[in-house]
Amino acid sequence: MSSAGSSDAARVSRRDDAVRAAVEQGLLAPDRPIVALLDVPGIRASAAALRAAFEAVTAPGTPVLHAFAVKATPLVPVLRLLREEGVGAEVASPGELALARAAGIAPGRTVLDSPAKTPADLREALALGIAVNADSPQELDRIDAAVRSAATRSPIGIRVNPQVGGGSIGALSTATATSKFGVALRDEGARAWIVRAYADRPWLTRLHAHSGSQGMPLPLMARGVAETYALAEEINRHVGRRQVDTIDIGGGLPVDFGSDAMAPTYEQYARLLAEVTPGLFDGRYGLVTEFGRSLLAKHGTVLARVEYTKSAGGRAVAVTHAGVQVATRTVYAPESWPLRIAAYDAKGRPKTGPDVVQDVAGPACFAGDLLAEGRPLPLLEQGDHVAALDTGAYYFAHHYAYNSLARPGIYGYAPAEGDPGTTRFAVVRTPQTLAEIVTESGGPHTHSLTSL
């Protein structure tokens, strides 16, 4: 077995152990019918693989910042873990910045990207020394005013849209001709405006693009990076010096949701970039990456109890407590976001038996609340458990409060030191209480409308 295959097998084994332990230790019970689990050794391994992949292709001494896209898994303990693994933060809102700061991530290892930064957002980032990528000419005007009024240590750049095309998921394609992100590089006059903007502002020292995401083929992502590198070279030739000293290549490495394999790998992507754009890695430019989904997706599992089973139209249906509230994208766009489902018995052991075509339904009160439709699985029974796999990014940390369903508790897990057969858990986020739901829904202001 290859080292990658061995790693994938070890991850599956840890997950199976964690599911069984979650049932045995009461994290999952009749009154706690859903829980989310994070594989801590797996997260550490992904961070190490990312660092190693780029170290292998960059010249010695090249400054490289891997900034985790906080939007992928906005959980403070996760950000703190990644900080320990040498990963910073890419934030796109005041809330995400607050999470990064709570996790202890230094301003110098934080990047602010957003298409809608307010003046207050910009002032805070520039005061703290956080890197800022301007998303539009109007935003650059605001930064001009801020830089004139107060000195800043922030590295500042412009985000460009290389307009190289989209992938298979339109809603996630950030480098199309009409994408809302960045300055559209191929629009009439845009390239000349960008070069002139750098010539007029010696403090513009970075260039940023993000051309990848789920559904994007690696060659197209690499083309977007190559276009950005070519622009940096053009700017520096025009100004006659190395003014652009750092290129932010974004993130967006897709994830294989169809198997346990970590594919494509950071190593494959870094090698492709080095082949397509070797000058990017020769030491003349610092690098920033902004990976999110690819760091966390494979390391998360939603585990839910089967509350009831029934048959409808001749098809078996398992009604569970995991649905649209934790897997919104899958429920509303199942063709783009299919999830693998694993079946476990009442004791949390992998379920065996002949496959039966069945639906795995969630608890929300609409017909489309399905984690999986017509899926062959060992026949699920009342009291069994289902696991939605590869949900560590953009799933259980992005709660959708349909039917006022409570946010599940989230726990990290790892084998006990010296006893790999025993699983230890750590709280990442406590389960939401009914009192908290009432408070979020205006409970403290019960009589506010009747008093008008």
Q: pLDDT tens, 40-93?
A: 999 999 999 999 999 999 999 999 999 999 999 999 999 999 999 999 999 999
Rounded distance, CA 45 to CA 286, Å?
A: 24
Torsion region of 137: left, alpha or beta (phi above 0 gives left; psi -120 to 50 gives alpha):
alpha
Where residue 166 falls among pLDDT bands split at 50, 70, 90? low
Q: Is the pLDDT of residue 418 over 90?
A: no
34's enclosing H/E stretch is strand 34-39
Quick check: 423 and 17 in contact, CB under 8 A?
Answer: yes
> What's the pLDDT score for residue 184?
85
> What's the pLDDT score for residue 126?
98
Token representation of residue 148: 């004139």
Locus of tokens 């992100």: 181
Rounded distance, CA 35 to CA 385, Å?
A: 11
Q: How many residues does the chain have?
A: 452
Q: pLDDT tens, 95-114?
A: 999 999 999 999 999 999 99
Where residue 176 falls among pLDDT bands split at 50, 70, 90? low
Q: pLDDT tens, 273-325?
A: 999 999 999 999 999 999 999 999 999 999 999 999 999 999 999 999 999 99
> What's the pLDDT score for residue 168?
55
Mean pLDDT within 396-414:
97
Where residue 425 falls among pLDDT bands split at 50, 70, 90? very high
Give the pairing type, strands 300-312 and 34-39. antiparallel
> What's the pLDDT score for residue 216?
78
Mean pLDDT within 243-260:
94
Interaxial angle between packed helices 190-200 and 218-239, expressed in degrees from 0 to 180 and rounded to the nearest 10: 50
Residue of 171, 215, 217, 213 whose CA lies nearest to 338: 215
The DSSP line for 74-115 is: --HHHHHHHHHTT-EEEE-SHHHHHHHHHTT--GGGEEE--T
Locus of tokens 């080095």: 274
Give the pairing type, strands 131-134 and 286-289. unpaired
> What's the pLDDT score for residue 31?
92
Quick check: 379 and 353 in contact, CB under 8 A?
Answer: yes
Rounded distance, CA 224 to CA 14, Å?
A: 37
Rounded distance, CA 186 to CA 277, Å?
A: 20
Higher-pLDDT residue of 96 and 171 is 96
Phi–psi pair at 176, nearest 5 degrees: -80, 170
Instruction: Report the SS3 class of residue 291.
Output: coil
Where residue 148 falls among pLDDT bands split at 50, 70, 90? very high
Where residue 225 falls among pLDDT bands split at 50, 70, 90? very high
Instruction: Report the SS3 class of residue 294.
Output: helix
> What's the pLDDT score for residue 217?
85
Quick check: 163 and 175 in contact, CB under 8 A?
Answer: yes
Q: Which residues contact 112 (CB under 8 A, 6 or more apart)?
A: 91, 92, 97, 121, 125, 130, 131, 132, 133
Q: Taking the CA atoms of the chain, what radius of gyration do you get in angstroms?
A: 24
Q: pLDDT tens, 338-357?
A: 999 999 999 999 999 999 99
> What's the pLDDT score for residue 213?
77
Question: Which amino acid, one-letter code, is at 363?
Answer: P
> What's the pLDDT score for residue 7?
87
Mean pLDDT within 141-160:
95
> What's the pLDDT score for residue 178?
64
Question: Which amino acid, one-letter code, is at 194?
Answer: I
